Amino acid sequence: MTADRPWITADCVVFDMHGRLLLIRRKYEPFQGAFALPGGFMDVGEAIETTAIRELKEETGIDGEDPQLIGVYSKPGRDPRHHTVTIAYLFFVESAAAAAGDDAATAEFRDDWANLALAFDHNQIVKDALELRARLHATMGKHG
Q: What is the pTM of this model?
A: 0.92
**Where are the domains positioned within the chain?**
7-140
Mean of pLDDT over the chain: 92
Residue closest to 91 by CA, chosen among 12, 20, 37, 17:
12
pLDDT grade for 14, boundaries at 50, 70 and 90: very high
Task: Quickly count: other Cβ atoms within 10 Å of residue 121's Cβ.
Answer: 18
Task: Give the up-direction half-sphere exposure of residue 71: CA atoms within 13 A in the CB hemisphere.
Answer: 15
Q: What integer pLDDT is reported at residue 64 of this predicted model?
A: 94
Amino acid making up residue 6 = P
Q: CATH class for domain 7-140?
A: alpha beta
pLDDT grade for 1, boundaries at 50, 70 and 90: very low
Q: Tens digits of per-residue pLDDT, 70-121?
A: 999 999 999 999 999 999 999 999 877 898 887 888 999 999 999 999 999 9
Amino acid making up residue 80 = P
